[in-house]
Amino acid sequence: MLEPESQPVAPNAWIDDLKAEISSVLVGQHELVDRLIVCLLCNGHILLEGMPGVAKTLAVKALSGALAVDFSRLQFTPDLLPADLVGTMIYNPGEQSFSAKLGPIFSNLVLADEINRAPAKVQSALLEAMQERQVTIGDTSYALPKPFLVLATQNPVDQEGTYRLPEAQLDRFLLKVLVDYPTAEEELSILRAMATTQPKTETQPATDPALIAKSREIVNTLYIDPAIEQYIVNIIHATRNPAAYDESLSSLIRAGASPRATINLALAAKARAFMAGRDHVIPQDVKELAPDVLRHRLLLSYEAEAENKSADDIIESLLNKIPVP
């Protein structure tokens, strides 16, 4: 008797397993988890902004446990030094020589908690790691492990004792995600699951880095129609010349998004298509991810602040004006 043929496993099947494992410790925050997976597929960094206690750190720790990769948590403070992050040279008296002691940044997932509380020297050290995926100690450069992702958090309200992140560094983040409070139903589930002296916060491996690397190769091959490519370019150019689409927005933006935003929006749209099981990008992929790709790349004017206009308000206005293919 012939055995029934087994159905082939979809290339993105591991995503559901990963989400299920993360949801075993994290209640709600589905959009946050989706964006973390987008960054994982794109090999990009993510900036999470939200009030304390909305599970930003827990989400990152749950992701690292479900991926079975090395994880480091760095609490950024005003007295943090670059050597605390990347490492330093140690003198060995016996051998009369220096050797490199590598810092905690040599991990697959690095959580930069309260990233805007560290001064410029620390940010510059982190910038090299984010962009070049290497660290220079002394006169030697050391490659960081693969995959390497920086997942940074910051508090949108408590700005006392913080440093504004340079625009060049913000531009290195693939996405900036706003993490909101849970719904009343989700908060009830949180109460029942976490109101104990021993809440479950650990996740078990649900996939492996090799499968993620293979998925990245598939993401690179997904098809984007030329009309959608032009749609992406139109969105980015609208941030630089908003008056061409809406005269009322011309005084609200001091500087638009860089070409890196164009690349990242296309790549993130491919990742979303892969997560949905499609071999091509649709306009909704672009429109859904545009706010996360753009909100940290727009420099708003004083007029925008005076009118209480946020980057999200401006992005929404532009998206409503630009024809969708």
The whole-model pTM stands at 0.87
Average pLDDT over every residue of 271-288: 92
Identify the pLDDT of residue 307.
Answer: 81
Kindly report the CATH number that applies to the domain delimited by 222-321. Answer: 1.10.8.80
Identify the pLDDT of residue 8.
Answer: 59
> Among 158-162, 189-193, 225-229, which is the least confidently predicted range?
158-162
Which value, to the nearest 10 degrees, does the dihedral of the CA atoms of residues 268, 270, 275, 280 take? 160
Identify the pLDDT of residue 161.
Answer: 63
Secondary structure, 3-state, 266-313? HHHHHHHHHHCCCCECCHHHHHHHHHHHHCCCCEECHHHHHCCCCHHH
Identify the pLDDT of residue 261.
Answer: 93
Identify the pLDDT of residue 68.
Answer: 80
Residue of 163, 51, 187, 71 lying closest to 115 (CA atoms) = 163
Identify the pLDDT of residue 13.
Answer: 81
| Contact (CB, 8 A) for 123 and 166 | yes
What are the residue ranges of helices labelled H in the chain? 13-23, 30-42, 56-67, 82-86, 120-132, 167-170, 184-194, 209-221, 226-240, 259-275, 283-294, 302-306, 311-321
Identify the pLDDT of residue 283.
Answer: 93
Kindly report the CATH number that applies to the domain delimited by 13-196+206-212. Answer: 3.40.50.300
pLDDT in tens, 18-54: 888 888 888 888 888 899 999 999 999 999 888 887 7
Average pLDDT, rounded, for the chain: 85
Identify the pLDDT of residue 291.
Answer: 93
Which residues have a Cβ under 8 Å from the Cβ of 12 and sit 6 or more positions away? 215, 274, 275, 277
> Among 5-19, 55-69, 107-121, 244-258, which is the least confidently predicted range?
5-19
Identify the pLDDT of residue 285.
Answer: 94
Identify the pLDDT of residue 260.
Answer: 92
* Beta-carbon-side half-sphere exposure of residue 182 (alpha carbons within 13 Å): 18
Q: In 10 A of CB 43, how many CB atoms?
A: 18
Identify the pLDDT of residue 1.
Answer: 43
Residue 99: strand pairing partners:
90
Residue of 177, 168, 187, 205 lying closest to 63 (CA atoms) = 205
**49 token code pair:** 């902004």
Residue 64 predicted with pLDDT over 80? yes
* Spans of all domains in the chain: 13-196+206-212, 222-321
> Among 46-55, 145-154, 199-208, 234-243, which is the least confidently predicted range?
199-208
Average pLDDT over every residue of 160-164: 71
DSSP conformation letters of 99-137: EEEE-TT-SSEEEEETGGGS-HHHHHHHHHHHHHSEEEE
**200 token code pair:** 């479950």
d(CA 127, CA 239): 25
Residue 314 predicted with pLDDT over 50? yes
